[in-house]
Amino acid sequence: MKLTKTFLLTALAAVALTAPAHASSNQESIFQDDATLFGDDAGKREQALDEMQALGVDTVRANVLWNRIAPDATSSTKPSGFNASDPDSYPAGNWARLDAIVQGVQSRGMQVLLTPTGPGPGWASECSGNYEARRICKPSPAEFGAFFEAVARRYPNVRRWSAWNEPNQGGWLTPQYEITSKGATPAAPHLYRKLVQAATDGLSRAGHSEDQVLLGETAPIGRTTGSLATRSMPAVDFWRELICLDTKGRKLTGSNASVRDCTSPGRMNVNGIAHHPYTKGAGKAPSDKGNSTDITLASISRLYLWADRGARAGRIPSRLPVYNTEFGFQTNPPDKTVGVSQSAQAQYLNQADYMSWRDSRLRSFAQYELFDERETGAFQTGLRFEDGRAKTGLDAYRLPVWAFKRSGYNYVWAMVRPARGASQTATVEYYDSSRKWKRVRTVTVGGSKRFIYLRTHARGKYFRVVAGERISRKAAPK
């Protein structure tokens, strides 16, 4: 039989590919919007949780601010008779919003990742001065461990934790540096190490010793402005100091170790790593690697390097999986200083999703905020504006798609994020020269199999995915 050109093109239109050997078999979707979930509007909280469920979110992360739950938080004196490890010793109303979040997330079939963190109560600080000076300054590891224990006892069904948010940022933990006999010396990593050890001890006392505990929750980029105490430490420097190694990966010894509490640092009992791999200002393309001491999504191998060195030094377990637990891109408007356009946000989200999937050690993709924050100068990485209007990024998050050219083929990667539950079909289409959308391939997705990866000879200017009534953005092969 003579094969016509049309027949050949049809036969070669789509070739399903197995995932590359170094790609993730599954990519967890983590979502965070503390401003909405802890806000005053309970109805908006429920609507937000409904939308997260509908978007296919697997896990909701929440920062548990210590000073919102602790009694007499602004006082420098611990309340008499207060048992910090007993959740019933805390004012009942202080748990109410967190109770609602945990119950609301779990009732919708999603997991909870809790991050107990500062600011803490003034009476738990080892610094002096007024409350503003004490709230994030040298928190007592013993008191933090007791608080962690209380949270774990309050929520026996929560099995995923991380300790302290962005400890390498001067807005969350101080001092970042102190003056010692060696000059300006990193302090925050060594404060943080003790907090983590106290937190894991608290979990164990609460009967959560088998839970997942993530180390880090680190911010990607440092800041050299401000005082030594409040400036922020670059991510690479923080991780190196946390595991008590020098710049060549050797264990710190002698006075270099003693001024850092690294003489006998011990081992941190964690089973994963958490990081926030934003680009600078959450406003650059995900391919941006930042400076040599930054750890963005494109340069996350720097984190793997230091984590593995820390494992060889006996500071942490070996080959820990890494989780992206906070991430996003700011839009302009409303942020006119560092934001990108709505279309760029959508494209960057999908590119970052694909990059994450390609990396087998990176187990999750995170989205920070459903709604933009109200405050001027706050993060505007939401998928909706503060007034609720949807951005282009909302649909891009729901149905990520990425296309690229290689060796005469067009490759299409996509994810049907809402297919976390029952199986459904999704169709990859291309926009041909006749200005019509044509089918490339229809596949079944569902459960852990939410990804599509194929190559095609179809010469589409754009590709997209159709799943039910939902249509992805148009992806031009790069």
Q: What is the pLDDT of residues 433-456, one digit of tens each?
A: 889 999 999 999 998 889 999 999
Per-residue pLDDT band at 351 (split at 50, 70, 90): very high
Q: Is the pLDDT of residue 470 over 50?
A: yes
> Do the beta carbons of residue 145 and residue 203 sit within 8 Å?
no
pLDDT of residue 208: 98
Find out whether the peptide bond into 334 is cis, omega within 30 degrees of 0. Answer: yes
CB-count burial class (<10 Å; 0-12, 13-18, 19+) for 95: buried
DSSP character at residue 326? S
Residues with Cβ < 8 Å from 58, sequence gap 6 or more?
28, 29, 30, 110, 111, 420
| 3-state class (DSSP) for residue 223 | strand
DSSP character at residue 139? B
Structure tokens at 308: 């593995």
Q: CA 229, CA 179: separation in Å to the nearest integer?
A: 9
> Do the beta carbons of residue 419 and residue 446 sit within 8 Å?
yes
Structure tokens at 37: 């979930």
Radius of gyration of the chain from its Cα atoms, rounded to whole angstroms = 24
pLDDT of residue 352: 98
> Tens of pLDDT along 367-415?
999 999 987 678 999 999 999 999 999 999 999 999 999 999 999 999 9
Identify the CA nearest to 300 among candidates 317, 324, 270: 324
pLDDT of residue 91: 97
C-alpha distances (whole Å) from 109 to each of 35, 48, 50, 104 are: 22, 14, 11, 9
Give the global pTM. 0.95
Per-residue pLDDT band at 14 (split at 50, 70, 90): low
- Between CA 152 and CA 59, with CA 95 as vertex, the angle to 5 degrees is 60
Q: Is the pLDDT of residue 15 over 70?
A: no
> Do the beta carbons of residue 56 and residue 45 sit within 8 Å?
no
Check residue 302 and give left, alpha or beta (phi > 0: left; psi -120 to 50: alpha). Answer: alpha
DSSP character at residue 446? B
State the DSSP H helix or E strand holding residue 117, giving kind and residue range, or none if neither. Answer: strand 111-117
pLDDT of residue 251: 97
What share of the chain in percent tops pLDDT 70? 96
> Tens of pLDDT along 36-78?
999 999 999 999 999 999 999 999 999 999 999 999 999 999 9
Residues with Cβ < 8 Å from 431, sequence gap 6 or more?
437, 438, 460, 461, 462, 463, 464, 474
Domain spanning 23-398, CATH architecture: Alpha-Beta Barrel (3.20)
Please give the single-letter amino acid code of residue 200.
Answer: T
pLDDT of residue 2: 40
For residues 444, 445, 451, 455, the Cα torsion angle rounded to the nearest 10 degrees is 10
Is the Cα torsion angle 454, 447, 98, 320 positive or negative in sign? negative
Which residue is associated with the tokens 């937190």?
Answer: 199
For 295-302, the CB contacts below 8 A with 24+ separation are 295/218, 295/220, 295/235, 295/236, 295/239, 296/220, 296/221, 297/324, 297/327, 297/352, 297/355, 297/356, 298/355, 300/275, 300/359, 300/362, 302/235, 302/236
Taking residues 183-205, report their average pLDDT. 97
- Ordered by start, the domain boundaries in the chain are 23-398
Taking residues 260-282, report their average pLDDT. 97
Residues with Cβ < 8 Å from 471, sequence gap 6 or more?
395, 399, 464, 465
What is the largest distance, in Å, between two alpha-carbon atoms of the chain?
Answer: 92
> Tens of pLDDT along 95-130?
999 999 999 999 999 999 999 999 999 999 999 999
